[in-house]
Structure 1
């Protein structure tokens, strides 16, 4: 295969809502370029992109799939992404390595919910973007409505390059950049190029002049030329459009029918001639803020943006060459762990098809097999030239489940499988909670959970059970209490004896020292689970030897690890040990540990114990017209609204909500708002549980 330089490589990510037609458009572009002889369809389960069994079973994209095509001396790498935000990790990683984003809209629906969510990430990465309104030949297509919905989001910087018309009963597209009319047969394919019809001349001229002005605004030299000549030629317009796209201030709008192959060739021509190439974008930044030099003569640096595990092949690693040229058998160092990896094979991937290559240059996207120590977000670099590319920031998990193997003997196998799934998709998190004694799986939603379950069953052969996770409560006290406990045991020979008298009180930051005690020692213990134990030695007259105090404290800490109310952790208590007795023969460490534990437990239960629950700070972005529904639901979840801000047509709600009330919230919010609201949750603090809830839990 020909090796292209970074000026002739275009990396484009196809993004958009579910059902917009991204996979069909990618398939049509491969067909147009002659890489495939026959176009597959999603319904027939034979597209190049949706080749995974689970994608064919569900007839939807789940993984981002790299494809490539060659068109008029350019190489176009296409990343076909899912449309559902449960798989947002696949979308974000594709946006990150793409040079231009092709946002596909369904002409029947315009700027849909899924597109809104994806747009936030495009905007965050400031990527050059063009819009493609698909399915213009559909009976319910509304191009003007779709264009208006684009302008509602990106403002007047959305500019028509094309618009559809009916010409003699046939589908046609007016192109105001080339000032031509493309008329298609009912079967689509290569169009007939015609002059713009007389009844469209006035509108086409108006849109052409708007496009000229927009192009001129983005380049000072073009602006001067525009004032001088009153217009720009086609090449000058392309220059201005590219400059505007690079500044994320101009968004060209195209129209196609991907299914009928109408307009896809012209779109590919625009990507070739105008859309920014790898060489046009600003240099990549390393984690220490230095720029990565994008030249083939520079030291090699690859950024791993995706990994995929296939049983027949093992791990497939997808990367973008950020600098230098990589060749087969190169030895590169992983910046995260210092391990050396050998690139025994290099591939260009088209779905499941692998095309071996000997070399890939800066700006290109490729893949390799069976790297042993490399995962998504890693950087591989030349030995002696260390660099780490800034990692992709993935969103926090929105759905959590406790997970365990149906067959207990497969627990270790399940753990290894989940590690591989996390390696492929960093939006999946796995952690063992020592407190809850559960393996906790985090992901983006119910559909995401279903896909993980499918992978476990069908790829790894594990039957897993997912259930509601326990809640990490805390226990504390509300008043002071005293206890006197004597431990005595005699069973022939040496016995056990210890008596401990203590007082406990609630502890808080800034509390005064206890009154009425002769304090001989104080120890503040920061507990692993948060809060404190403050332990005072107030023994007078040596009634308990100082060497036994650590054992008393150990007994108290053991009770605090499994509280008297619900076996949850205890926090924020201070203990004053002020009296007791010991025996010259029978007293020992174990006796005082037992006596200390029992005394503390007795005092705790008499100190008006209180259960605390974890609460989350929720930030919910919701359309104005749906705020009422969301707030009503939040109130039913014992939420406390702490702020409301308005941004454009959205409102951002901030509230404090108990973790126990958030089970299934991602699904419920999606249902309430038809998928138009998003949220993130961050742990806030522990708050007292209402009395009726505490009674039920205890």
Structure 2
């Protein structure tokens, strides 16, 4: 296979809502370029892109799939992504390594909620973007309304390159960059090129001039040229369009029928000639603060944006060559763990088809097999260099479930399988909750959860069940309390004796030391479960030997691991041990540990003990007309709404919500808003449980 340089490699990612036609468009582009002889279809489950068994079973993309095509001396790497935000990890990873984003819209619906959710991530990465309005030949297609929805999303910077018309019943596309009409046969394919009809000339000229002005605005030389001669030629327009795309100040809009192969060749020509390549983008910096020079002469670095575990094949590692050149048998170092990996094979991937190559150069996308120490989001770099490419920051899980193997013998196997799934998709999170003794699985939504379940059952042979996670409460106190406890035990031989007097108080960050005590020592313990124990030695006159105080504190810490209200961890308490007694023969460490534990428990129960619950910081993006219902639902979940901000046709609600009330929220929100709202959440803090709820929990 021909090796392309960084200026002749274009990496594009297809993003868009479910059923916008991304997979069909990628299939048609491969067909148009002659790389496949027959186009597959999603309905017949034989596309190059959706090759995975679960995708064919469900009839939609689940994984991002790298493909490639060659068109007029350029190599175009295409990544076809899922259209559902449950699989946002696959979409984000693909956006990260793309040079240009191709946002595909269904001409019947324009910008949908799925498009808007994905756009938030496109916008965050500030990548050059073009829009493709697909299915223009559908009976319900509405190009003008679809274009209006794009302008609502990106503003006046959306510019028509094309628009569809019918001539004598035939589907045509007017191209205002080339000022030609492309007329297609019902079967599509290579179009007939025609002059623009008289009845379209006024509109075409108007759009052509708008495009010239937009192109000129983005380049000072072109602007001077435009003022000088009042127009730009096609090459000058291309230069200005590319400059505008790189600044995210120009978003070209195309139209196609991917299903009937209309307009795809012209789209590929634009990607070749105009869409930015890796070499055109801003220079990236490593985590070490050095520039990454995206040239083949630079030190080699690879960014792993995807891994896939294939039965009978093992792990496939997909990467972008960010700099340098990678060859078969090269040794590369993983910057995360320092392990050396041998690149024994190199491939160009088209779905499940692997085409071996001897080397890949900067800007290209490829894959290798059976790396031992490498996961998604890792950097591999040349031996002797220090390069860490900025990793992707994945969103927090939106739903969490306790996961249990139905057969106890599968527990170890389940842990290993979940590690592999996480390595493949970092938006799947796993942790063992020590308090609740549950294995907690985090996902992006119910469909995401269903795919994990499918993988476990079909790829790893493990049947599991999902349960509601237990809420991990905390206990603390609201006022001060004093207590004393005498531990005395005599049973022949050596006895046990210890007496401890203490005062306990609520602890807060920055509070002054307690008054009225002769403080001889202070120890702050950062508790593993959060919060603090602050322990003061206030013993006067040696009534308790200093060597016994660590045992007193050990007894207190044992009680704090299982509070008296609900067996939850205790946090944020300070203890002043100010008096006591000991015996010259019978006192020992165990006696003071027991006395300390009992004294603390007694004082805790008399200090107005309070239950704390974990709260989440919740951000909900909801259409304006649906805000009322969403707010009512949030308030029924004991949420405190902190702010409401406008964002176009949407409102952003920010609130603090108890974790106990958010089980099933993803499904409820989707139902309330017909899937048009989205949300994210992260841990906020522990907050007091209302008295009535505390009473129910304590009595439970």
TM-score (norm 1): 0.96
Deviation at 1:227, TM superposition (A): 2.4
Cα deviation per residue 1:634-683 (whole Å; 9 max; x = unaligned)?
11111112222223333222222112112222332233233333333232
- Per the alignment, do residues 244 and 604 of structure 1 end up closer, same or farther by CA in structure 2, a change over 3 Å counting? same
Judge conservation of contact 1:131–1:251 (CA < 8 Å) in 2.
yes
- Per the alignment, do residues 509 and 344 of structure 1 end up closer, same or farther by CA in structure 2, a change over 3 Å counting? closer
Distance 2:363 2:538 in 1: 71
Distance 1:535 1:303 in 2: 49
Partner of 1:565: 565
Cα deviation per residue 1:455-507 (whole Å; 9 max; x = unaligned)?
11111122222222122211112233333333344444334333334333333
Deviation at 1:152, TM superposition (A): 0.9
Partner of 1:671: 671
Partner of 2:53: 53
The equivalences for 1:155-554 within 5 A come to: 155-509=155-509, 511=511, 513-514=513-514, 517-540=517-540, 542-554=542-554
Partner of 1:143: 143
Deviation at 1:588, TM superposition (A): 2.4
Distance 2:537 2:101 in 1: 67
Deviation at 1:581, TM superposition (A): 4.0
Distance 1:99 1:407 in 2: 47
Deviation at 1:219, TM superposition (A): 1.9
Judge conservation of contact 1:301–1:381 (CA < 8 Å) in 2.
yes
Deviation at 1:540, TM superposition (A): 4.8
Judge conservation of contact 1:498–1:592 (CA < 8 Å) in 2.
yes
Partner of 1:598: 598
Q: Which segment is superposed worse, 152-161 or 465-474?
A: 465-474
Aligned partner of residue 236 in structure 1, secondary structure: helix
Aligned partner of residue 163 in structure 1, secondary structure: strand
Distance 2:511 2:238 in 1: 70
Deviation at 1:515, TM superposition (A): 5.2
Deviation at 1:323, TM superposition (A): 1.4
Aligned partner of residue 193 in structure 1, secondary structure: strand
Deviation at 1:259, TM superposition (A): 0.7
Aligned partner of residue 209 in structure 1, secondary structure: helix
Cα deviation per residue 1:166-196 (whole Å; 9 max; x = unaligned)?
2212211111112222222222222222222
Distance 2:574 2:3 in 1: 71
- Per the alignment, do residues 512 and 27 of structure 1 end up closer, same or farther by CA in structure 2, a change over 3 Å counting? closer
Distance 1:267 1:440 in 2: 45
The equivalences for 1:627-642 within 5 A come to: 627-642=627-642
Deviation at 1:42, TM superposition (A): 0.7
Deviation at 1:286, TM superposition (A): 1.1
Partner of 1:114: 114
Deviation at 1:514, TM superposition (A): 4.4
Q: Which segment is superposed worse, 658-667 or 528-537?
A: 528-537
Deviation at 1:357, TM superposition (A): 0.5
Aligned partner of residue 642 in structure 2, secondary structure: strand
Deviation at 1:630, TM superposition (A): 1.8
Cα deviation per residue 1:237-261 (whole Å; 9 max; x = unaligned)?
2222112112211111111111111
Q: Which segment is superposed worse, 520-529 or 128-137?
A: 520-529
Deviation at 1:287, TM superposition (A): 1.2
Distance 2:176 2:649 in 1: 31
Q: Which segment is superposed worse, 659-668 or 468-477?
A: 659-668
- Per the alignment, do residues 598 and 329 of structure 1 end up closer, same or farther by CA in structure 2, a change over 3 Å counting? same
Aligned partner of residue 404 in structure 2, secondary structure: strand
Deviation at 1:307, TM superposition (A): 0.9
Judge conservation of contact 1:427–1:443 (CA < 8 Å) in 2.
yes
Distance 2:251 2:113 in 1: 19
Query: Does 2:661 correspond to 1:661?
Result: yes
Judge conservation of contact 1:284–1:322 (CA < 8 Å) in 2.
no
Cα deviation per residue 1:509-551 (whole Å; 9 max; x = unaligned)?
4555545555444433332222222333344554443332222
Query: Does 2:694 correspond to 1:689?
Result: no
Query: Does 2:622 correspond to 1:622?
Result: yes
Distance 1:484 1:227 in 2: 91
Deviation at 1:301, TM superposition (A): 1.4
Cα deviation per residue 1:589-638 (whole Å; 9 max; x = unaligned)?
22222222122222222222111112222232333222212211111111
Distance 2:79 2:645 in 1: 36
Deviation at 1:695, TM superposition (A): 0.9
Distance 2:45 2:412 in 1: 35
Partner of 1:129: 129
Deviation at 1:96, TM superposition (A): 1.1
Deviation at 1:34, TM superposition (A): 1.1
Q: Which segment is superposed worse, 548-557 or 4-13?
A: 548-557
Cα deviation per residue 1:367-416 (whole Å; 9 max; x = unaligned)?
00011111112221222222111111211221112223222232222111
Q: Which segment is superposed worse, 441-450 or 18-27?
A: 441-450
- Per the alignment, do residues 416 and 194 of structure 1 end up closer, same or farther by CA in structure 2, a change over 3 Å counting? same
Query: Does 2:554 correspond to 1:589?
Result: no
- Per the alignment, do residues 263 and 506 of structure 1 end up closer, same or farther by CA in structure 2, a change over 3 Å counting? same
Distance 2:297 2:521 in 1: 68
Cα RMSD between the aligned structures?
A: 1.8
Distance 2:576 2:663 in 1: 40
- Per the alignment, do residues 294 and 538 of structure 1 end up closer, same or farther by CA in structure 2, a change over 3 Å counting? closer
- Per the alignment, do residues 9 and 530 of structure 1 end up closer, same or farther by CA in structure 2, a change over 3 Å counting? same
Distance 1:513 1:99 in 2: 58
Deviation at 1:696, TM superposition (A): 1.0
Distance 2:177 2:480 in 1: 81
Aligned partner of residue 187 in structure 2, secondary structure: coil
Distance 2:478 2:206 in 1: 75
Query: Does 2:610 correspond to 1:610?
Result: yes
Q: How many residues are treated as equivalent by the alignment?
A: 698
Deviation at 1:560, TM superposition (A): 0.5
Ranges in structure 2 where 5+ consecutive residues have no aligned partner: none
Judge conservation of contact 1:13–1:80 (CA < 8 Å) in 2.
yes
Deviation at 1:329, TM superposition (A): 0.6
Cα deviation per residue 1:120-142 (whole Å; 9 max; x = unaligned)?
22122111111110011111111
